[in-house]
Structure formats: structure tokens, C-alpha cells
Amino acid sequence: MPKVLIKTYGCQMNERDSEQVAQMLIARGFEMTTDENAADVILLNTCSVRDQAEQKALGKMRLLAHHHKGGGKVFGFLGCMAQSRGAELAKGGAVDLVIGTQKFHRVADYVEELLARKHGQSMDDARFSIVDVGEEPGSQEAIRDHTVRPGQGTAFVSVMQGCNMRCTFCIVPQTRGAERSRAIPEIVREVEGLVAQGVKEVTLLGQIVNLYGRHEFPRVEGKSPFVQLLEAVHAVEGVARLRFTSPHPIGYKADLIEAFGYLPKLAEHVHLPLQSGSDRVLKAMHRGYTGEGFLELVRKMRAVRPDLAITTDIIVGYPGETAEDYLATRELCEAVRFDNAFIFRYSKRKDTPAAALPDQVDAVEKERRNLDLLEVTNAIIKEKLEALVGQRVEVLCEGPSKNNPRRLTGRTRGNKIVLFEGGEGMIGQMVQVRVERTSGFCLYGEPEA
């Protein structure tokens, strides 16, 4: 029985794609492993959002190919970097397989073919490689199967692929293609299957998830296709929590904001990517909103759900960003008081408009702004966590902590990480936890009877 190792870089959608590939391989009789030495097939599912993610994957593949040279293993790149770089990744003979973002459902076929060649069942050249990065209509329907482990309480459900937004810094439209959405009944059936296997929390995934279905499906009674989808999944018996990611501020229309007031299963947490607080930079990024518009959106959402936790993404050092532009971002972060912030230094992405802009910000200055903004946001995050000390919170237990297997870990409805002592019977269950302290990044507590 051949063994396969899949290593995933990047976002939750990449994690979901890897899960789908693994499920297809298991259905063919393959066994999944985390041991590089035992693996017959090693696949790296890649990310292209930042250069650092690409360099990690490339470096890892170089090490693997060197260490296992001549061992008969199959090496492959999947996903976004594979889509953007294509055949160049197979040059030199070390990489056997390069599969783009619309071809995950073909991985099992290609792996079987490559293993047959590697083991002499074909007379072709052993350095034969397969590259498939073409578009495929209907590929959004291919990510629909799950392998649910015992005690698994959470699951991701892919509802759409692609992005039409064309933000000037982003390579996703090139790597994921145009927006394509799945039908609501198909998504509901997938969720029902997950609930039947014990899943209690579902996260709907899409590149711009709150623009789901805008080209394929009509509004009904004034509600967008995405709100219709939320209502349909909310109605599934057994779903306890509902989340979605990753959205865009322009997709938070009145009907979606109102949904947070009448859908109790919809967790009081939204991800709201800011990217910059400077109107000038936001316009250059083609983001479609202003700093004041963003702040007004936050006010509207908190008016409907006062306990709403808001997380964000921010880029510092976009080409031409001045000290005044950065200060506008800093001030907006202080005004919003995000519950968490993922802050990135601008990274050039091939064939994006921003990569060719003049006035690229010096790396040292980007690092300075990054560290300064982290200091600001981390202080706010710590204050928000400290406010929860002494309170009772509902936690969906996800399993043992990665850093300390003797502790269990889970998340609140507001997406706060909580660590606590407990038995295996709590895994996959809702647990009431009394918060005792915080590290400034997560909470620690004791389960209550």
C-alpha cells in the first residue's frame, strides 16, 4: 500500500484542498503518513500570496529531492504556486508532478501513473513529469468530500472558487481563476453529511466568500445569494456554529449585516480585511472603500451585534506608502480595536500591477512599520483578552494543544483560543470554561461541570 505525505502552506482553502486530495487518495487504497522517509509520494500544496510562502515550499522541495535522490519517490507541487509557475517547476527532473488549482480531482490518477512509471511498469523515461495547470469548468464542485476523524467538531466547506476583485497587490485571480459558485442544495447536503458524522461547527470558504453566487444566482426577497446560503446552512439540524471566510468589506451589504441579528448560530466573529487605513493607498490598491467607510461599516455591524469580534489583514509598505499613509493605518487600528490582526510587509507578486509601481518602500522601513503596528495591535488584543478573565465562555474543543498535548484547546464563538485541562471525552464537544488568565495571545481556564 503506497504511502503519501501532503504538506500544506497558506490559507484555510489550501487546507481544505489538501483534505480533498487526501480523501481521494485514501479511496484509491493509499495510506497517509507524516513520515518523509516512509512516504512513497510527497506532495506540497503551495501558496503564492507572499514570496516567503513560495520560498518555503521551494526550499523544502530542494531538501526533499536531495535527501531522497534516487529513492523512487514521487514529488509534486500542487496549488497556487504550481498554477502560477507551471512547467518551470518541473525543470531539472526533481519534480514529477505540477498540478494547478482547478485540477485537484485529477491528482490520484496522476500519482498512480507516476508510481507505475517509477516502478518499471512503463518503458518510458523515468524522468517523465506531468504538468496540468489548465482551466476546467465545474472544478468548484470537485472539493466536496470529507474524511471526518472521531471527535472532529469543526469542518471547512468550500462554497466557491476564484476571485474577480483584481486588487493590485494580489495574485489570487491569476492562481484561482474567475469566481465560480456551487449551488446551495449541494452545499447543504455536504453540511448534512458532516453533521451526521459529529461535526458541530461549519466554516464556509471562498476567496471572497460574501460575494458568493452574485453572477450565478438571483436575489430573493431582497437577500443576496450569500445570505440565502447562510440561512440554508443555519437551518440544518445539528449545526451549532456557523462561520465564513475570507470576505471583502464591499460584500458586507445591509442584508448580511442584518443576518448577524437574527441568525443565532452565526458566530459573533467576522474577518474584515482592512489592508490600509490610507484613502490614497486604498485607491491605489483598488479596494473600493475609504478608511471612513470601513469605520462606518464597523459601527453598523457592532450596532447589530455589540459583542462582535473583528479580525483583519493589513499590508504595510505598499509601493508609495508614506509616513502619513502609515499613520492613517495606525490610527484606524486604534479606532477599530481589532480582536486580532494579521500584519504583513508588502511582497511583490509576479504580474500584479503593484509589482511594477515606482517608489517601492525600503525593506528596513517596511520592517519598522510592521513591528510598530504589531506593538499597537497586540496591546489592544491583550486588553480584550484580559477583559475575559473571570468570565465563563463556551468552547468547542478541537483536541490536544500542539504545544502541550497534556492540555486541550478550542475556540470561543468569538474565535478566541482557549487552553484547558480535560479528558478525551471533551474532544469535539462544547465545553463551558471559566477563564483564569491570559498570555496576551490566548486564554487559559478550567472546565466547569
- Separation between Cα atoms, residue 134 and residue 18, nearest integer Å: 19
Residues 388, 227: Cα–Cα separation, whole Å: 31
Same domain, 409 and 314: no
Domain shared by 379 and 248, yes or no = yes
Report the alpha-carbon distance of residue 356 to residue 400 in Å, rounded: 46
Closest C-alpha among 25, 194, 165 to residue 99: 25
Same domain? For 241 and 296 the reply is yes
SS3 track for 345-374? ECCCCCCCHHHHCCCCCCHHHHHHHHHHHH
Using 50 as the pLDDT threshold, list the residues of the chain that sit under it: 122-124
**pLDDT for 140:** 80
Per-residue pLDDT of 353-368, as tens digits, reads 999 999 999 999 999 9
Query: Do 378 and 234 fall within a single domain?
Result: yes
User: Which pLDDT belongs to residue 282?
Assistant: 98
Query: Do 91 and 172 have their domain in common?
Result: no
Burial code of 138-154, b = ≥16 C-beta within 10 A, e = fewer? ebbebbbebebeeebbb
Looking at the structure, do residues 255 and 309 belong to the same domain, yes or no? yes
**Where among 110, 132, 154 does a domain terminate?**
132
| Whole-number pLDDT of residue 384 | 97
- Cell 506540497 sits at which residue? 44
Dihedral angle computed from the Cα positions of residues 385, 388, 389 and 395, in that order, rounded to the nearest 10 degrees: -100
Domain count across the chain: 3
* Prediction pTM value: 0.92
What pLDDT is recorded for position 123? 44
Identify the DSSP state of 209.
G
Give residue 158's domain range. 139-386
pLDDT of res. 223: 97
pLDDT at 147: 82
H-state helical runs in 263-322: 279-285, 291-304
